[in-house]
DNA sequence: TTGAAACATCAATAAATCATGATATCATAA
DNA sequence: TTATGATATCATGATTTATTGATGTTTCAA
């Protein structure tokens, strides 16, 4: 029977599953990719991925709520930037391992 | 505006998002964790995570369909084992970076 | 060839997610 | 103060996903 000696604590597992769930969307992965290269406003990001503003705003909001991104208002614009280092690791991981 | 010079190809992004989506579930993460430590039958895995057989079978089936796991029948039992190396990387990543 | 163990699949409801269009908020310039 | 650009939120319907219990299948031993 599988041993569960050094098992990842349940709490962590659930937290991580939730974070992965947020990342697990093609548009959001693309946004994270862009954000690893700098800070960008919502409009810039929407243009970069060719999607309507409302959709991008919702994706960004979801990632922000999950603690994956940070947002800073500057005048009319809100600039998003990458926060969580694990995000970067996942993206690197994807670059390397994905077919 | 964000540059998309060395952008991850769209096809890869979608494939990866799909794979992450499959991983993004606490029970499935736990199963992958167990499977990184060896091969186990469905019954053994169900006992290890304290869930009904049908549920575990469905989780395993989903991961298998996504190419994350392999399954081998041996007599009455079906043994599952970890296939995708990216899975392992993700789990290591979780061990390290998750709070 | 019957029975039982081990898995897989199915069906159905509930719940979560997605995309979309409309509307609301916020900040600034005129 | 009003108009406008930038962003967020809301409401909706369509599509997935999760969970559960019941039913099928496969394998082997008696």
Mean pLDDT of chain B: 89
Nearest CA in chain B to A39: B2
Q: Would you tell me how many other CB atoms lie within 10 Å of the CB of residue A55?
A: 12
User: Cβ-count burial of B86 within 10 angstroms (0-12 exposed, 13-18 middle, 19+ buried)?
Assistant: buried
Closest-approach nucleotide to residue B77, Cα vs C1': C6
pLDDT for res B57: 98
H or E element: which one contains B17?
A: helix B10-23
**pLDDT tens readout for residues B57-88:** 999 999 999 999 999 999 999 999 987 787 78
Q: What is the band of B5 on the pLDDT scale with cuts at 50, 70, 90?
A: low
pLDDT for res B82: 85
Which chain B residues are Cβ-neighbours of A92 within 8 angstroms? none
Asked if the model's pLDDT at residue B3 lies above 60, the reply is: no
B9 touching A, CB under 8 A? Answer: no
Q: What is the band of A99 on the pLDDT scale with cuts at 50, 70, 90?
A: low
Q: Pairing between strand B77-82 and B69-74?
A: antiparallel
User: Mean per-residue pLDDT for A46-74?
Assistant: 97
CA distance B52 to chain A (A): 16
pLDDT for res A5: 57
Q: What is the band of A4 on the pLDDT scale with cuts at 50, 70, 90?
A: low
User: Mean per-residue pLDDT for B20-29?
Assistant: 96
Nearest CA in chain B to A15: B98
Q: What's the CA A75/C1' C14 distance, rounded, in angstroms?
A: 44
H-helix segments, B24-77:
26-35, 42-49, 53-65
Best of A11, A24, A66, A67 to mutate (most B CBs within 10 Å, chain B): A24
B5 touching A, CB under 8 A? Answer: no
Q: What is the band of B1 on the pLDDT scale with cuts at 50, 70, 90?
A: low
A94 touching B, CB under 8 A? Answer: yes
Are the Cβ atoms of B1 and A99 closer than 8 angstroms? no
Higher pLDDT, B32 or A2: B32
pLDDT for res B87: 78
Closest-approach nucleotide to residue B28, Cα vs C1': D18
């Amino acid at each position: 029977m599988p041993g569960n000696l050094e098992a990842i604590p349940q709490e962590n597992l659930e937290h991580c599953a939730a974070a992965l769930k947020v990342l697990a969307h093609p548009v959001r992965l693309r946004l994270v990719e862009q954000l690893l290269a700098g800070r960008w406003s919502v409009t810039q990001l929407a243009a970069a991925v060719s999607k309507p503003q409302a959709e991008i705003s919702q994706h960004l909001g979801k990632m922000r709520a999950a603690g994956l991104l940070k947002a800073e208002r500057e005048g009319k614009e809100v600039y998003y930037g990458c926060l969580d280092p694990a995000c970067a690791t996942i993206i690197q991981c994807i670059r390397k391992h994905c077919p």
